[in-house]
Structure 1
Amino acid sequence: MRRRALLGAALAAPATARGQARVVRVVNAYGAGGTADIVCRLLFGRLSERSGQSYVVENRPGAAGTIAASVVARAPPDGHTLLYDATAHSVNPALFGPKLPYDTRRDFLPVFLSLVTPNTIVGSHHFAPRTVAELIAAAEAAPATIDAGTSGIGSAQHITLALFNAMAGVQISHVVYRDAPAARNDMVTGRIQLQFSNVPGSVGHFRAGTARVIAHTGREPVPVLPGVPAVAETLPGFETYEWNGIFLPAGTPEEIRRGLNAALNATAAEPAVAEKLVALGGLLRPNTPEEFAGFLEGQFALHGRVVREANIRAD
């Protein structure tokens, strides 16, 4: 097992003509301090230690992840530039259409699915409903009077809100914030009633009692949110996730992709790393590039349908 892990790490570390490893650039589509940045630095920091290959994270946030993706789409396919992206990657084709400066499926090779975590519905203590059924009843009684904050148009949380409105047959208003902390502050103080968030962003509220985590959007109980029910218990079939993953530019040799996948699987399975991912609310499972690609196709289909049916527009 150790031999296979070391082989994977070696394959994941391309060498120069002189036989010395070059720095591998990890272009992160999100800013410092968020979930994507935490997981990215956790994985690649440990992978650098394991392999002796230097992985340097470069944060290039903005434009729903398209700035970072554009950089990697144009990079040489030699294994020295990676993209660390998240849920917006599977929303953007429907959200931006032909305006995207790259082809999401054609220009990137899926490598490794590094995090999957449910979204959440979090309510202010100033807001009376305590369950999904009570929330739906309140929204039915007073359409468009309940405000829910998210971190952006087309975000995983916006998709979750739009799907909730459609499946519950209600109209909860969307309030767009520059980032999740800004939405969180207004929700806690009661300026808005709800925040559609994710598990990592909700654990602190749950433990401190500063807000009420009404439900999560996964299929199974979430260990770090004990007792919090799934939306699907009230709306059967309801399921959304926020995910993180690693991509290479199209045309990168397959042995590099396979080696990087093996090295990342081994790194994520280390107890010290796995414990931190679980603490964030991550649903851990080893995965191959093919499995990640299959997961993505399901996300493309779901997000594309919600964007079309809810008429979500980037402008």
Structure 2
Amino acid sequence: MPHPVTRRAVLAVSALFLAAAAAPAAAEYPESPVTLVIPFAAGGSTDVVGRIVAERMGAELGQQVIVQNVGGAGGSLGAGQVAQAEPDGYTILMGTVATHALNPLILKQKPYDAVTDFAPVSLLVVVPNVLAVNPELPVTTVQELIDLAKSDPTLLAYASSGNGTPLHLSGELFKAMAGVEITHIPYKGSGPALTDVLGNQVPVIFDNLPSASGHMTSGGLRALGVTTAERAPSFPDLPSIAETLPGYETYTWNALFAPAGTPPEVVARLNDAAKVAMADPAVVARMAEFSATIVASTPEELAAHVDDEIAKWTPVVADAGVSMD
């Protein structure tokens, strides 16, 4: 004999239907692939980190995270594209100190506001930079490079990933502290900059350690020093530039941002996926290869970090006198 349908049962079933109808759309996010914009050319540090993270985040999200390189204007072209994207979590940015601290200080025409046009997701890693030369250049130490530059102010040039990038400012700070002249040659990312230094079209480069490390190990580049105050754990025999120029220190970082207005639940889902990715043993091992320090912050911590970085770089940019249209 069938059980009678009670009022309590009807109410319970109705509640289930109402809960399902009221469930936020973000519970189903993502329903299609997510595009991760890398605002630099392929082959550079941000590209290396971004592709490692994208693959693992895609596995966690259950949808492919597709890397799209949009290089140019020191990262501001790609960052501006994401700032104007639909705030639905399907277009996100691998931001850097360039896109979110330096460009706001350097660019006269600002294509976006680094604070108000983005929803912070997570600070992923902090990365050392490195000063390296083509092996045909007859120097093996930072001091020898300084001495060579002083012998002829027109002799040397250094490559960077672009005007206004942390690598550009690493070079300008080096020149100021060492009292030398070295011509800056900007590129649209570390990849093309490395290509010309490896081919000896340009003898010197300031690069991120992740993109340069393979060439350092193979002998394609001769590293002279890391830009962090301390030596990098992955290259313990490589001195810091500060050992020759006390007080010298620069570095970069990689962080995920979504367009402003992205629903908090979508930001939280991306943050969770990023934390899972950065805790994966394979990802940890890859990051350790080039001394990238894993952070995997909260959105709030990333927002505070951006504020701190803008405050830190403001006097450096002013002292260097760097500005771009």
| TM-score grouping bracket, smaller chain normalisation | 0.7 to 0.9
For 1:239 and 1:198, the matched residues in 2 are separated by: 13
Question: What's the RMSD between the two structures over aligned residues?
Answer: 2.7
Say which one has the larger Rg.
2
Question: Is this contact kept in 1: 2:45–2:209, CA < 8 A?
Answer: no
Q: Specify the alignment match of 1:125 in structure 2.
A: 135
2:236 is paired with a residue whose SS is coil
**Match for 2:207: what amino acid?**
S
For 1:85 and 1:222, the matched residues in 2 are separated by: 23
Question: Is this contact kept in 1: 2:41–2:188, CA < 8 A?
Answer: no
Deviation, 1:190, is: 4.5
**Match for 1:293: what amino acid?**
A
For 1:60 and 1:191, the matched residues in 2 are separated by: 25
Counting only pairs closer than 5 Å after superposition, residues 219-298 of structure 1 correspond to structure 2 as 219-298=229-308
1:227 is paired with a residue whose SS is coil
Instruction: Render the CA deviation track for 1:233-285: whole Å, top value 9, x for unaligned.
Output: 22222211122211122233334333422321121111011112222431223
Deviation, 1:161, is: 0.3
Q: Specify the alignment match of 2:31 in structure 1.
A: 22
Q: What is the aligned counterpart of 2:107 among 80, 96, 99?
A: 96
For 1:278 and 1:18, the matched residues in 2 are separated by: 34
User: Is residue 156 of structure 2 the alignment partner of residue 154 of structure 1?
Assistant: no
For 1:114 and 1:218, the matched residues in 2 are separated by: 18
Q: Specify the alignment match of 2:55 in structure 1.
A: 45
Q: Which runs of 5+ in 1 are unaligned?
A: 1-13
TM-score (norm 2): 0.81
For 1:229 and 1:91, the matched residues in 2 are separated by: 26
TM-score (norm 1): 0.83
Q: Specify the alignment match of 2:67 in structure 1.
A: 57
For 1:149 and 1:21, the matched residues in 2 are separated by: 39
**Match for 1:88: what amino acid?**
A
Q: Which runs of 5+ in 2 are unaligned?
A: 1-22
Quickly say closer, same or farther: Cα 1:49–1:63, change in 2 above 3 A: same
Of residues 200-209 and 53-62 in structure 1, the stretch that sits farther from structure 2 once superposed is 53-62
Deviation, 1:120, is: 0.9
Q: Specify the alignment match of 2:206 in structure 1.
A: 196
For 1:17 and 1:138, the matched residues in 2 are separated by: 59
1:295 is paired with a residue whose SS is helix
Quickly say closer, same or farther: Cα 1:139–1:21, change in 2 above 3 A: closer
Residue correspondences, number: 301
Q: What is the aligned counterpart of 1:166 among 176, 197, 205?
A: 176
Deviation, 1:144, is: 4.2
1:115 is paired with a residue whose SS is strand
Question: Is this contact kept in 2: 1:150–1:174, CA < 8 A?
Answer: yes
For 2:144 and 2:304, the matched residues in 1 are separated by: 36
Q: Specify the alignment match of 2:14 in structure 1.
A: none
Question: Is this contact kept in 2: 1:205–1:213, CA < 8 A?
Answer: no
For 2:208 and 2:119, the matched residues in 1 are separated by: 26
1:118 is paired with a residue whose SS is strand
Identity %: 37
Q: Specify the alignment match of 1:11 in structure 2.
A: none
For 1:44 and 1:187, the matched residues in 2 are separated by: 28
Question: Is this contact kept in 2: 1:206–1:225, CA < 8 A?
Answer: no
